[in-house]
C-alpha cells in the first residue's frame, strides 16, 4: 500500500478545479495506455464539486467518455432517482452532460430495484458485478480502478465506512450493506477497505475547516477502525487533496501548500 501524499490548494473551489484537471489527465493517460479507464465516484459536496468542475473544464473532452467505466464507492440506499442518491447528484453535476456508454456506468442498486429494500442483497449483487468485471490481471474480485475518489467525513469516514461500525472491519467482502449510518440516510451500500485498496490510485478529497481535524487524525497514524480514511490507500498512490482550511491542523513542515 502506498504512503499518503498531501497536496494543499488555496480554497475548495481551486481544489475542485485542480482535482478535475488532474483527473482528466489521469483518464487520458489510462485510455492511451490501455484503451479504457475505470473511475470510482464518491458522493458529498467535495465529490460533486469535483464533477461540476470537470463538467466546466476546458480539457473535458480530451477524455473519450465512451471508453470510461464508472463505479460508485458508496450509495445512499434510496429509490432510483431520489435527489439524495449519489448517482442522481453525479448525473446532475456531470454525467448527463457527457457522452458516456450507458453499459459502462454502474450505479449501485436502488431501494426500489430488483433487490427490494434489502441493502445486503443489493450489496452482494454489486460485488458480483464488480467480480464479473475483474480480469486475471486484477488484484482480487474487483477491476483495477485507475482512480478511486473518496470524500472524507468530519468523523474520518470514507464511502459509507464509519468509525467502529461493522463495514470498516470487513476483511473479505468487497461490498457491504450499511445499517444505522450516523450520516443520513442511515441505510447505505459501500465498498469495503479491501475493495478500495485494490485501486491503483486512491484520492481523498477534503475541503473546509470542518475536515481539518479528520485530516490531521487520519494522517497522523490513527488506526483504520477508529479512522477509516487512514485505511484508504491505493496500490501505487494515495493522494490527499485538501484546501488550506482542511490542512490547518497538519504539521505545516510536512505538507507545504501546493499552490497560492
CB of 3 to ligand 6PG, least distance (A): 22
CB of 46 to ligand 6PG, least distance (A): 4
Side-chain-facing half-sphere of 163: CA atoms under 13 Å: 14
125 SS3 class? helix
Nearer to ligand 6PG, 26 or 76 (CB): 76
Question: Could you tell me which of 21, 44, 34 has the C-alpha nearest to residue 68?
Answer: 34
Residue number with the smallest Cβ distance to ligand 6PG: 151
CB of 118 to ligand 6PG, least distance (A): 19
Kindly state the DSSP code that residue 186 receives in the 8-state scheme: S
Question: Could you tell me which of 228, 225, 220, 224 has the C-alpha nearest to residue 254?
Answer: 220
CB of 217 to ligand 6PG, least distance (A): 15
Nearer to ligand 6PG, 67 or 179 (CB): 179
Three cell numbers, residue 52: 461540476
Name residue 243's beta-bridge partners.
9
Report the Cα 73 to chain-centroid distance in Å.
Answer: 5
Which residues here bind ligand 6PG, judged by CB under 6 A?
Answer: 42-47, 74, 76, 86, 151-153, 157-159, 183
Nearer to ligand 6PG, 4 or 153 (CB): 153
Taking a C-beta distance cutoff of 8 angstroms, is the pair 197, 230 a contact?
no
Nearest-angstrom CA–CA distance, 167 and 192: 6
CA angle 125, 88, 233 (to 5 degrees): 60
Nearer to ligand 6PG, 67 or 169 (CB): 169
Nearest-angstrom CA–CA distance, 27 and 40: 12
CB of 159 to ligand 6PG, least distance (A): 5
Nearer to ligand 6PG, 43 or 177 (CB): 43
CB of 42 to ligand 6PG, least distance (A): 5
Nearer to ligand 6PG, 132 or 208 (CB): 208
Amino acid at each position: 500500500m502506498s504512503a499518503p501524499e498531501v497536496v494543499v490548494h488555496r480554497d475548495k473551489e481551486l481544489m475542485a478545479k485542480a482535482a478535475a484537471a488532474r483527473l482528466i489527465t489521469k483518464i487520458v493517460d489510462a485510455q492511451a495506455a490501455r484503451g479504457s479507464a475505470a473511475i470510482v465516484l464518491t458522493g458529498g459536496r467535495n465529490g460533486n464539486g469535483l464533477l461540476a468542475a470537470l463538467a466546466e473544464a476546458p480539457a473535458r473532452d480530451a477524455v473519450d467518455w465512451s471508453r470510461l467505466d464508472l463505479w460508485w464507492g458508496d450509495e445512499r440506499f434510496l429509490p432510483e432517482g431520489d435527489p439524495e442518491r449519489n448517482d442522481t447528484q453525479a448525473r446532475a453535476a456531470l454525467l448527463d452532460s457527457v457522452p458516456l456508454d450507458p453499459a459502462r456506468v454502474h450505479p449501485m442498486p436502488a431501494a426500489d430495484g430488483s433487490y427490494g429494500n434489502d441493502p445486503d442483497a443489493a450489496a452482494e449483487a454489486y460485488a458480483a458485478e464488480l467480480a464479473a468485471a475483474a480480469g486475471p490481471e486484477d488484484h482480487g474480485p474487483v477491476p483495477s480502478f485507475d482512480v478511486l475518489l473518496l470524500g472524507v467525513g468530519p468523523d474520518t469516514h470514507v464511502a459509507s465506512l464509519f468509525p467502529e461500525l461493522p463495514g470498516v472491519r470487513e476483511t473479505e467482502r468487497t461490498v457491504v450493506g450499511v445499517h444505522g449510518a450516523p450520516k443520513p440516510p442511515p441505510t447505505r451500500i459501500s465498498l469495503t477497505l479491501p475493495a478500495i485498496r485494490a485501486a491503483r490510485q486512491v484520492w481523498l478529497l477534503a475541503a473546509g475547516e470542518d475536515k481539518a481535524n479528520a485530516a490531521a487524525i487520519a494522517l497522523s497514524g490513527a488506526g483504520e477502525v477508529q479512522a477509516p480514511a487512514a485505511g484508504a490507500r491505493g496500490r501505487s498512490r494515495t493522494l490527499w487533496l485538501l484546501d488550506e482550511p482542511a490542512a490547518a491542523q497538519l504539521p505545516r513542515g510536512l505538507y507545504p501548500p501546493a499552490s497560492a
